[in-house]
C-alpha cells in the first residue's frame, strides 16, 4: 500500500481510518472525513463521484451505495463549490439507481409539488445572477434590429417566452429607430399560461407607452407539440425567431429503441458485466441493468460526429427546424448551452457535466455569498434539476441534451440555414455588459461568427444567428 | 342640466346651417356678458354643432358676395364696405342674437352631449384641438407638445424660467411639486448622509433636467419604499437603479403603478434608499456610472424612465434581498443605451438609450445580489481564495489521474472538455507537467482498484481510499499506469479508468497484474 509520504494532514486520520473495521450501517463511520481540508475533500469527492458513477454504470449497487454513503458525509448543499456539486450529482446518481425500481421511484416522487411561482422565480434568478441570458438578449436584439432595418411589419417568435426584459429592450430600441417603429407582433410560446399572461401584460404596457402598434400572441404549448399553423405567420411580414436554450430539448428521443435497432449495441457488450448483471436475483433489475449497461457500454459514437444513430435520434429537431425554415424567417438567433451533455454513456455525460457545472457553480461561488438563498435555489432547482436529468434520465425523458456549438452549426446548416455573423456592434455591447459584471471570470470569444460565453476557459453558452438559405 | 330636445333639434337645424361655415357672430354687446356657471350651459341657449372642418376653419367669416374668407369679423366688415352694398343690406341683422353654445363634434367626447356644451366658440375650438387633435406645436426647450398654439406659447414663456431647486439638486418648474419633493427630501438626505460618496458629475446635468412629474405618484412611491430615497442619490449616482428595484420589492405593485408615469428622478430616488440600507462600503464608481447613465437616460426621455421603473419594479418583485452593492456595469448601460438610442451619442459613458435599462437593471439587480457577496468577493478577490474552485479541483484530479499515465494520455490530456481546443491549449501545460516517471506504480493503483470490486468487501474499499493523498507519489492509485490513452477527457478519464480497472479486476480476483488492464476498460470508458 502506498501510504508513505502522505501529507501530514491526512496521514493520521487515514491511518486511523484504515484500522477501523467499518460496516455500512455505522452512524458516523468516517470521522476522519471531517478533518479533511477543503481541497482534499474536494478531490476526494471527485474521486468518490467517479467511483460511484462507475458502480452505477456497471450495476454494482452495493458499491454504489457505499460510495453514496461516503459522499453524503462530505457533500452538502451549503458547503463549498465541490460539496454543493457533489450533493446534486449524488442525488442524480441515486435517482438513477432508483429508476431501476420504477414503482419505488414513482412512489417517492408522487407527492412532489412543483410551484409555478418558484419555477418562474428561479428562471428570473438565473437571468439576474448570470450575464449569460443578458448577453444572449443583447446579441439577439441587436441582430433583430439590424435584420429588420427598413421593415414595416415585424413578427417575432419566441420559442420560450418567459423573460420580458428581452422584448422590452427590443421594443424600446425599435421605437427609437430613425424610421420610426415598425408594426410589431410577438408570438410567445410557453408551457405555462400564467407566464404568458404576465408577459403579455408587461409588453403591451410597454408598447402602449411608447406608442408602438403591438400585438402579443400567446401560445400555450410544448415545443415538441408545437403546431406551426398556430404561429399564424402572415405574408409580407418580416419574421425573426429567437430560441434561447430550447432546441436541445428536441433532441430527446427514444434512445433505447434506437440502440436496440442498431447492430452496434450488441457487439460491444462486455461479457463479464452482462453475466454479472444477469446473476442478480431480481430479473427486472437485471434487465434494467442490462439496459443501463447498454447505455454504458455501447460504443458511444464519437460525440462530435454525427452517426446514423444520432441522426435518427434528432429527427424531431430536424423536422422542427425544417418547419421553421418553411416559415422563411429573415433571422433566427439560437442560444444554446455549449457543452456536450448528450453522450450516450453515463460516464461520458458525467465527466462533461462535472466540468460544465463546476464552472457554473464557480460562477456563483465567485459572485454570490454562500448564505444566499437565491443561490441555493438556483443551484438546486435549476442546476440540480438539469444534472438530474442529464445523469438519471434516459431516452425521451432526458431533455437536457446540450451539445457543442459545432454540432448545432452542422445541424442548422443541414436544415438549410445560413450562418449570419453577429454584428460587431452587438458583440461590443455584449462585451461591455460582461465587463460591467465586474467579475473577470466571464469571458466571451468569437467562433465562426458565433459568440461563445465562457467562465474562465470553459465555454458555457453560445449564441449564433441564422438566415434562411434557399 | 336640462337642455332638452328642443335645443337639440335646434342644434341640428343650426348644424346644417352652420356647417356651411357662414355665421354671424353675436354682436359685441356693451353690457357685461352673463356668464353661466361652468359645466352648466344656459338651458335656452342655441346649441350649435359644428363639423370638425368648420370648427378648425381659419377663415370663418366669409363674404357673401365674393366668398372671401376672413379670420376676423371686423376684417370682413371692412371688406364688405368695398362692395358698395345698398344701405339695407349693409346693416347687420338687428335680431337679438341668441346665446349660443357649442358641442364637440367628436362623438366619443363628453362634450358632444348638448348638456355638456361649451359656451364659447373659441373654447370649443381649443378643446377640440387639445383633446382630439394632433399636437403640432413642440416646445424647443423640453419635449412637451401642444395642439393649440396659445398653449404652446404660454408654456414656452415659462419653460425653464422659473426653477425651484432642491438641496438635492433636483429642479422643478412647478412650485407644488417642488414643495412635495422637499418634504421628503429631508428624510432622504439622512439616508444619503449615511450613504457613500457620490462621484457622479455626469448625473448633475441630467438630474437637473429632472422634470417633476406627478408628485402624487412620487409620493406614493416614496412612501412605499421603506426608506425614502435620498435625493442626492440621483445626482450622486450612488444608487444603482437596481437599488430602486430592491426597495420596491415590498411594494411592487404600488411602485409599478405609481412609478411608471414618473420621470427618472423618481426612479433614481427609489434606488437610493435601497442603496442606503446597505451598510456595505461605497460602491465602486462603476455603479455610479451606471446609475448616472441610467438616470441620465431616464431624465432624457420619459420613455426611458418609465421603462426603467418598470424594470425596477419587475426586478424588485423578484428579489428578496435588498443587499446591493452591485458592481455596476456602467459599460453595459452605455452599450445598451447606445444600442437603443444611437442618436444621442453625447452621453458617452452614461450612455443614452434607455431601453437597455431593462437589461442593465437586470444586470444591476443581478449584481445587487452579489452586493452582499460582492463584499465578500471584494474581500477575497485580492487574497487567495480560501477554497479551490471546483474547476481547479477537477483539473487537479485530472492531472493527478494523468500523472502516472503515459505520454499518449497526456497528449489527449484535456483538463477541460474534449472539443474546446482553445481550452485545451491552455491546459496542455498542465498535462505536460509530467510527474515523476517512477509513479507508474501499478500496485498502488491496484490498491485502489482492488477494493472497487463488486465482489469484495467493504474493507478493501476503505483501504483503497486512504491511499488518497495530495502528493503525487501517493496518488498513483489514481493513475494506473495503463490509463486509456486518447480519451478526450484526459486525466479524468484516466482516473475513471483506474477506478474502472478495479472493476475489471474483480472477476479476475485480486491479482496485481497491472498489465492485465486491457482495452476492456478503454473500450468501456472512452
Q: pLDDT tens digits, residue range B182-230? A: 776 665 555 556 554 444 444 444 444 444 444 444 444 344 444 444 4
The pLDDT of residue B59: 76
Number of C-beta neighbours around residue B169 at 10 A: 16
Yes or no, beta carbons of A304 and B373 under 8 Å apart: no
Q: What residues have CB less than 8 Å from B44, skipping those under 6 apart?
A: B7, B98, B99
Chain B hits for A201, Cβ within 8 Å = none
Q: Scanning every residue of chain A, which has its alpha carbon at the shortest distance from the alpha carbon of B349?
A: A432
pLDDT band (50, 70, 90) for residue B354: very low
| A229 min Cα distance to partner chain B (Å) | 32
- Measured between alpha carbons, how far is B484 from A411 in angstroms, rounded to an integer? 31
Interface test with chain A among B298, B302, B419, B519, by most A beta carbons within 10 Å: B419
Please, what are the averages of pLDDT over each run of 10 residues along chain A (470 residues)? 39 36 42 69 88 90 91 88 92 92 91 87 92 93 92 92 92 90 92 91 92 92 88 88 92 65 44 43 44 43 43 74 91 94 90 93 90 92 93 89 92 92 89 84 88 92 91
What percentage of chain B exceeds 90 in pLDDT? 0
- Measured between alpha carbons, how far is B418 from B180 in angstroms, rounded to an integer? 64
- Measured between alpha carbons, how far is B492 from B393 in angstroms, rounded to an integer? 11
The structure's pTM equals: 0.49
Yes or no, beta carbons of A368 and B369 under 8 Å apart: yes
**Helix, strand, coil % in chain A, rounded to nearest 5:** 55, 15, 30
Yes or no, beta carbons of A351 and B330 under 8 Å apart: no
Q: Is B392 helix (H, G, I), strand (E, B) or coil?
A: helix
Q: Could you tell me which residue, B255 or B61, shows the higher pLDDT?
A: B61
Q: Scanning every residue of chain A, which has its alpha carbon at the shortest distance from the alpha carbon of B466?
A: A14
User: Is the Cβ–Cβ distance between B302 and B309 less than 8 Å?
Assistant: no
State the number of CA atoms in the 13 A half-sphere of B506 facing the CB: 24
Interface test with chain B among A38, A51, A405, by most B beta carbons within 10 Å: A51
Yes or no, beta carbons of B303 and A46 under 8 Å apart: no
The pLDDT of residue A183: 92
User: Is the Cβ–Cβ distance between A70 and A33 less than 8 Å?
Assistant: yes
Yes or no, beta carbons of A131 and B471 under 8 Å apart: no
C-alpha cell of residue B356: 437597455
Which residue among B356, B372, B387 places its CB closest to the CB of A38? B387
Residue ranges of chain A assigned to CATH 3.40.50.150: 129-255+313-338+414-468
Chain A hits for B525, Cβ within 8 Å = 347
Among B124, B126, B152, smallest CA distance to B137 is for B152
- Measured between alpha carbons, how far is A45 from A433 in angstroms, rounded to an integer? 35
C-alpha cell of residue A17: 481510518
Q: Is A241 helix (H, G, I), strand (E, B) or coil?
A: strand
Chain A hits for B509, Cβ within 8 Å = none
| A393 min Cα distance to partner chain B (Å) | 19
| A21 min Cα distance to partner chain B (Å) | 7
- Measured between alpha carbons, how far is B288 from B296 in angstroms, rounded to an integer? 11
Yes or no, beta carbons of A369 and B290 under 8 Å apart: no
- Measured between alpha carbons, how far is A196 from A186 in angstroms, rounded to an integer? 11
Interface test with chain B among A58, A130, A141, A176, by most B beta carbons within 10 Å: A176
- Measured between alpha carbons, how far is A399 from A258 in angstroms, rounded to an integer? 16
Yes or no, beta carbons of A173 and B474 under 8 Å apart: no
Interface test with chain A among B322, B339, B398, by most A beta carbons within 10 Å: B339
Yes or no, beta carbons of A209 and B307 under 8 Å apart: yes
- Measured between alpha carbons, how far is A109 from A98 in angstroms, rounded to an integer? 11
Type and span of the H or E element at B101 = strand B100-103
Helices (H) and strands (E) in chain B, counts: 25, 8
Residues 113-152 of A with CB under 8 A from B: 121, 124-125, 127-131, 134, 137-138, 141-142, 145
B426 dihedral zone (left: phi>0; alpha: psi -120 to 50; beta): alpha
Averaged pLDDT for residues B454-468: 38
The pLDDT of residue A381: 92
| A72-76, A370-374, B105-109, B336-340: least confidently modelled range | B336-340
- Measured between alpha carbons, how far is B416 from B398 in angstroms, rounded to an integer? 9
Chain B hits for A164, Cβ within 8 Å = 314, 358
| Domain chopping of chain B, boundaries | 44-84+98-136
C-alpha cell of residue A339: 457543452
User: Is the Cβ–Cβ distance between B40 and B1 less than 8 Å?
Assistant: yes
Residues 167-226 of A with CB under 8 A from B: 168-173, 175-176, 178, 202, 205-206, 209-210
Q: Could you tell me which residue, B230 or B49, shows the higher pLDDT?
A: B49
Please name the fold of domain A129-255+313-338+414-468.
Answer: Rossmann fold (3.40.50)
pLDDT tops 60 at residue B304: no
- Measured between alpha carbons, how far is B271 from A144 in angstroms, rounded to an integer? 31
Q: Could you tell me which residue, B302 or A96, shows the higher pLDDT?
A: A96
| B223 min Cα distance to partner chain A (Å) | 24
Chain A hits for B523, Cβ within 8 Å = 268, 270, 297, 299
The pLDDT of residue A434: 87
Which residue among B370, B416, B461 places its CB closest to the CB of A63? B461
| B332 min Cα distance to partner chain A (Å) | 4
Yes or no, beta carbons of B314 and A165 under 8 Å apart: yes
- Measured between alpha carbons, how far is A34 from B1 in angstroms, rounded to an integer? 88
Q: Could you tell me which residue, B98 or A229, shows the higher pLDDT?
A: A229
The pLDDT of residue A376: 93
Q: What is the average pLDDT score of chain B? A: 53
Q: Could you tell me which residue, A447 or B87, shows the higher pLDDT?
A: A447
Interface test with chain A among B301, B358, B502, by most A beta carbons within 10 Å: B358
Averaged pLDDT for residues B415-438: 39
- Measured between alpha carbons, how far is B52 from B127 in angstroms, rounded to an integer? 12
Yes or no, beta carbons of A6 and B373 under 8 Å apart: no
Q: Could you tell me which residue, A233 or B41, shows the higher pLDDT?
A: A233
Averaged pLDDT for residues B476-480: 40
User: CA–CA distance from B193 to each of B168, B186, B232, B233 (Å)?
Assistant: 12, 11, 9, 10
The pLDDT of residue A257: 57
Among A297, A379, A412, A382, smallest CA distance to A343 is for A297
Among A129, A30, A39, A17, smallest CA distance to A83 is for A39
What does the H/E/C string look like for B418-467?
CCCHHHHHHHHHHHHCCCCHHHCCHHHHHHHHCCCCCCCCHHHHHHHHHH
Which residue among B336, B373, B452 places its CB closest to the CB of A367? B373
pLDDT tops 60 at residue B173: yes
User: Is the Cβ–Cβ distance between A332 and A240 less than 8 Å?
Assistant: yes
Chain B hits for A170, Cβ within 8 Å = 355
Amino acid at each position: 500500500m502506498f501510504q508513505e509520504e502522505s501529507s501530514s494532514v491526512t496521514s493520521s486520520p487515514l491511518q486511523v481510518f484504515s484500522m477501523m473495521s467499518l460496516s455500512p450501517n455505522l452512524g458516523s463511520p468516517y470521522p476522519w472525513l471531517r478533518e479533511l481540508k477543503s481541497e482534499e475533500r474536494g478531490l476526494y469527492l471527485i474521486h468518490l463521484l467517479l467511483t460511484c458513477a462507475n458502480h452505477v454504470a456497471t450495476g454494482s449497487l452495493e458499491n454504489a451505495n457505499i460510495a453514496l454513503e461516503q459522499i453524503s458525509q462530505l457533500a452538502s448543499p451549503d458547503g463549498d463549490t465541490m460539496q454543493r456539486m457533489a450533493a446534486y450529482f449524488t442525488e442524480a446518481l441515486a435517482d438513477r439507481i432508483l429508476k431501476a425500481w420504477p414503482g419505488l421511484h414513482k412512489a417517492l416522487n408522487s407527492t412532489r409539488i412543483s410551484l409555478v411561482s418558484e419555477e418562474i422565480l428561479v428562471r428570473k434568478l438565473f437571468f439576474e445572477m448570470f450575464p449569460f441570458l443578458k448577453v444572449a438578449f443583447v446579441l439577439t436584439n441587436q441582430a433583430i434590429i439590424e435584420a429588420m432595418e427598413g421593415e414595416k411589419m415585424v413578427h417575432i417568435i419566441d420559442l420560450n417566452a418567459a423573460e420580458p426584459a428581452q422584448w422590452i429592450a427590443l421594443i424600446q430600441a425599435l421605437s427609437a429607430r430613425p424610421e420610426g417603429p415598425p408594426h410589431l407582433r410577438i408570438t410567445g410560446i410557453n408551457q405555462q399560461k400564467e407566464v404568458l399572461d404576465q408577459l403579455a401584460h408587461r409588453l403591451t404596457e410597454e408598447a402602449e407607452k411608447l406608442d408602438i402598434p403591438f400585438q402579443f400572441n400567446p401560445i400555450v404549448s410544448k415545443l415538441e407539440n408545437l403546431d406551426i399553423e398556430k404561429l399564424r405567420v402572415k405574408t409580407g411580414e418580416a419574421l425573426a425567431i429567437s430560441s434561447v436554450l430550447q432546441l436541445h430539448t428536441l433532441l430527446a428521443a427514444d434512445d433505447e429503441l434506437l440502440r436496440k435497432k442498431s447492430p452496434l449495441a450488441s457487439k460491444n457488450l462486455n461479457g463479464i458485466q452482462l453475466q454479472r448483471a444477469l446473476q442478480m436475483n431480481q430479473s427486472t433489475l437485471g434487465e434494467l441493468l442490462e439496459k443501463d449497461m447498454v447505455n454504458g457500454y455501447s460504443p458511444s459514437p464519437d460525440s462530435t460526429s454525427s452517426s446514423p444513430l444520432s441522426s435518427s435520434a434528432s429527427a424531431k429537431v430536424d423536422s422542427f427546424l425544417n418547419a421553421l425554415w418553411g416559415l422563411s424567417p429573415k433571422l433566427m438567433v439560437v442560444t444554446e448551452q455549449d457543452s456536450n451533455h448528450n453522450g450516450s454513456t453515463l460516464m461520458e455525460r458525467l465527466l462533461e457535466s462535472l466540468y460544465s457545472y463546476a464552472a457554473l457553480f464557480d460562477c456563483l461561488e465567485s459572485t454570490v455569498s454562500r448564505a444566499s438563498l437565491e443561490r441555493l435555489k438556483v443551484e438546486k432547482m435549476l442546476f440540480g434539476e438539469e444534472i438530474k436529468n442529464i445523469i438519471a434520465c434516459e431516452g425521451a425523458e432526458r431533455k437536457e441534451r446540450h451539445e457543442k456549438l459545432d454540432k448545432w452549426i452542422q445541424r442548422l446548416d443541414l436544415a438549410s440555414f445560413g450562418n449570419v455573423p453577429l454584428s460587431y456592434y452587438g458583440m461590443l455591447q455584449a462585451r461591455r455588459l460582461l465587463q460591467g459584471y465586474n467579475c473577470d471570470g466571464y469571458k466571451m470569444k468569437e467562433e465562426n461568427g458565433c459568440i461563445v460565453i465562457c467562465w474562465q476557459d470553459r465555454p458555457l453558452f453560445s449564441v449564433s444567428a441564422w438566415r434562411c438559405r434557399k | 342640466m336640462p337642455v332638452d330636445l328642443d335645443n337639440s333639434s335646434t342644434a341640428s337645424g343650426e348644424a346644417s346651417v352652420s356647417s356651411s361655415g357662414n355665421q354671424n357672430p353675436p354682436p359685441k354687446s356693451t353690457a357685461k356678458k352673463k356668464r353661466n356657471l361652468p359645466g352648466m350651459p344656459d338651458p335656452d341657449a342655441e346649441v350649435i354643432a359644428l363639423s370638425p372642418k368648420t370648427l378648425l376653419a381659419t377663415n370663418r367669416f366669409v363674404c357673401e358676395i365674393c366668398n372671401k374668407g376672413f379670420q376676423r369679423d371686423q376684417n370682413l366688415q371692412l371688406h364688405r364696405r368695398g362692395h358698395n352694398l345698398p344701405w339695407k343690406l349693409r346693416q347687420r341683422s338687428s335680431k337679438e342674437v341668441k346665446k349660443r353654445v357649442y358641442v364637440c363634434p367628436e362623438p366619443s367626447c363628453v362634450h358632444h352631449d348638448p348638456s355638456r356644451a361649451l359656451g364659447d366658440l373659441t373654447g370649443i375650438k381649443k378643446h377640440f384641438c387639445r383633446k382630439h387633435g394632433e399636437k403640432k406645436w413642440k416646445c424647443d426647450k423640453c419635449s412637451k407638445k401642444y395642439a393649440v398654439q396659445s398653449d404652446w406659447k404660454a408654456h414656452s414663456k415659462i419653460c425653464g424660467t422659473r426653477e425651484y431647486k432642491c438641496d438635492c439638486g433636483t429642479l422643478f418648474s412647478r412650485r407644488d411639486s417642488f414643495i412635495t419633493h422637499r418634504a421628503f427630501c429631508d428624510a432622504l438626505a439622512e439616508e444619503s448622509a449615511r450613504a457613500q460618496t457620490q462621484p457622479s458629475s455626469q448625473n448633475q446635468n441630467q438630474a437637473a433636467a429632472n422634470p417633476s412629474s406627478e408628485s402624487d405618484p412620487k409620493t406614493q412611491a416614496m412612501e412605499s419604499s421603506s426608506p425614502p430615497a435620498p435625493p442626492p442619490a440621483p445626482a450622486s449616482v450612488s444608487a444603482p437603479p437596481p437599488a430602486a428595484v430592491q426597495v420596491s420589492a415590498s411594494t411592487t405593485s404600488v411602485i409599478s403603478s405609481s412609478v411608471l408615469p414618473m420621470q427618472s428622478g423618481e426612479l433614481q430616488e427609489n434606488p437610493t434608499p435601497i442603496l442606503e440600507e446597505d451598510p456595505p462600503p461605497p460602491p465602486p464608481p462603476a455603479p455610479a456610472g451606471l446609475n448616472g447613465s441610467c438616470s441620465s437616460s431616464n431624465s432624457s426621455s420619459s420613455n426611458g424612465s418609465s421603462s426603467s421603473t418598470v424594470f425596477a419594479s419587475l426586478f424588485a418583485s423578484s428579489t428578496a434581498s435588498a443587499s446591493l452593492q452591485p458592481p455596476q456595469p456602467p459599460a453595459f448601460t452605455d452599450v445598451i443605451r447606445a444600442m437603443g438610442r444611437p442618436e444621442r451619442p453625447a452621453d458617452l459613458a452614461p450612455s443614452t438609450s434607455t431601453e437597455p435599462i431593462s437589461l442593465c437593471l437586470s444586470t444591476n439587480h443581478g449584481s445587487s445580489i452579489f452586493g452582499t457577496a460582492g463584499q465578500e468577493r471584494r474581500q477575497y478577490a485580492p487574497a487567495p481564495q480560501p477554497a479551490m474552485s471546483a474547476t481547479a479541483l477537477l483539473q487537479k484530479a485530472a492531472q493527478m489521474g494523468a500523472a502516472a499515465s503515459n505520454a499518449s494520455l497526456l497528449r489527449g490530456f484535456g483538463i477541460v472538455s474534449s472539443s474546446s481546443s482553445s481550452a485545451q491549449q491552455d491546459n496542455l501545460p498542465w498535462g505536460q507537467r509530467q510527474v515523476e516517471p517512477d509513479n507508474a506504480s501499478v500496485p498502488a493503483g491496484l490498491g485502489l482498484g482492488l477494493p472497487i470490486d463488486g465482489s469484495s468487501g467493504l474493507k478493501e474499499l476503505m483501504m483503497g481510499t486512504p491511499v488518497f493523498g495530495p502528493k503525487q507519489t501517493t496518488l498513483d492509485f489514481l493513475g494506473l499506469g495503463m490509463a486509456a490513452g486518447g480519451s478526450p477527457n484526459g486525466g479524468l478519464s484516466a482516473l475513471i479508468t483506474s477506478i474502472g480497472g478495479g472493476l475489471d479486476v474483480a472477476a479476475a480476483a485480486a491479482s496485481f497484474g497491472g498489465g492485465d488492464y486491457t482495452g476492456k476498460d478503454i473500450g468501456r470508458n472512452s
